[in-house]
A and B are shown apart, each in its own frame.
Chain A
Amino acid sequence: MLPILASLAGVCLVGLLIYGVSAQSVSRTLDERVKLGERPAAPDATRSLQTLEGGGRSSLAALRGKVVVLNFWASWCEPCQTEAPLLERAQRALLARRGTVLGVTYKDATPDSQSFVRQFHLTYPNLRDGEGSFARSYGTDQLPETFVLDRQGRVVAISRGEIDQAFIDRALALAQST
């Protein structure tokens, strides 16, 4: 009786461990679908997040009909500092073409994020993902990460890491092609 119970407990623990490893690993379903040429709907688009400057909330769904460059960033992230001027240039270009950059800060204190915005003279809207659940739905586990969405709110390009001008040009061409 005792060996059976011990074996059962062992099997349960191993099962739990396997489930835990698979549940904790970051989802890359979006990347796989985009790589296959699909345009998956942007996850969690209706989740309402607080604006960085405070005094309101907004969501990705509020930007439906616009091309959106969704950028996850934090003030402590050095590549985020490098790509900030590039994103600001993209914002100026997008304004004329019914589009916008949307920044989402993650794992960062509000005052630090706000001084980052001032330091790099960012004019695009920024939201705060305090709990990190919005970032998690995109499989975000490193910063910066950028997702380009078309006017129907579908993901057309993903960059997990610092972006460059070539990525922006290619992704925006793709997003505006529909």
Chain B
Amino acid sequence: MTGAPPLSRGPLRLLVALASLASLTLPFALPAGALAQARTSLPAIERQVMCVTCKIPLNVAQSPQADRERAFIQGLIDRGEGEAEIKNTLVAQYGPTVLGLPATNGFDLAAYLVPIAVVLTLLVLLVLLLPRWRRQARVQARSGKAAPALGAADAARLRSDLERFD
């Protein structure tokens, strides 16, 4: 019921190392076109683009125009185009809205900048407030150590209680 002896792990380790090496070197061994062909599929592109008339992602769109877009994308895939090329062609044909991404100019830029600004603001607030909170916590901890002195009556009652337990 015990695990495999340490010696038998040697070949396994070697196999894992070889598999890792192969996965790292495979992209360089294959021609770029073959790799793009292997990776590009209609569902993969459908998830990333919009149906321009229905204004919903293409993978959930059901309309004649969505079918035309799918056929157009399939034609590009059949020609061996990679994902980036297909997206560029789609933008050239249907306009930038086909990607369903905010533009990188005008008001749409706010979609990228606002989250960054919010994160930075929170970081700055943390940097400013954290030392203050730690100082307050230290002060509270210190004041907690020095217990208030007992009155004479309380001290007498405590003593008698403790004696009862002895």
Instruction: Give 21 A-B contacts (CB < 8 Å), ordered by A residue.
Output: A2-B129, A9-B121, A13-B114, A16-B110, A16-B114, A19-B107, A20-B110, A23-B106, A76-B53, A76-B64, A107-B52, A107-B53, A107-B95, A108-B93, A110-B93, A129-B95, A130-B91, A130-B92, A130-B93, A130-B95, A131-B96
User: Is there a chain A Cβ closer than 8 Å to B65's Cβ?
Assistant: yes
Residues from 151 to 167 in A contacting B, C-beta threshold 8 Å: none
Residues from 2 to 31 in A contacting B, C-beta threshold 8 Å: 2, 5, 9, 13, 16, 19-20, 23-24
Q: A24-B107, A76-B68, A109-B68 are in contact. Are A131 and B93 (CB under 8 A)?
A: no
Partner of B97 from A9, A107, A112 at Cβ < 8 Å = A107
Interface size on B, residues (CB 8 A): 21
Task: Name A's B-contacting residues (CB within 8 A).
Answer: 2, 5, 9, 13, 16, 19-20, 23-24, 74, 76, 106-112, 129-132
Cβ distance A103 to chain B, nearest Cβ, rounded Å:
16
Q: Residue among B53, B68, B93, B121 with the most chain A CB within 10 A?
A: B93
Cα–Cα, bound, A110→B72 (Å): 10
Partner of A107 from B94, B106, B107, B114 at Cβ < 8 Å = B94
Residues in A neighbouring B92, C-beta threshold 8 A: 130
Q: Top 7 closest A-B pairs, CB basis?
A: A132-B95, A76-B65, A23-B107, A109-B93, A107-B52, A20-B107, A109-B72
Inter-subunit contact B64/A132 (CB<8 Å): no
Residues from 89 to 122 in B contacting A, C-beta threshold 8 Å: 91-97, 106-107, 110, 114, 121
Cβ distance B103 to chain A, nearest Cβ, rounded Å:
10
Cα–Cα, bound, A109→B49 (Å): 14
Residues in A neighbouring B53, C-beta threshold 8 A: 74, 76, 107
Residues in A neighbouring B97, C-beta threshold 8 A: 107, 132
Cα–Cα, bound, A129→B96 (Å): 11
Residues in A neighbouring B69, C-beta threshold 8 A: 109
Inter-subunit contact A112/B95 (CB<8 Å): no
Residues in A neighbouring B93, C-beta threshold 8 A: 108-110, 130
Cα–Cα, bound, A106→B107 (Å): 22
Query: From B53, which residue of chain A is reached at the shortest CB distance?
Result: A76
Residues in B neighbouring A23, C-beta threshold 8 A: 106-107
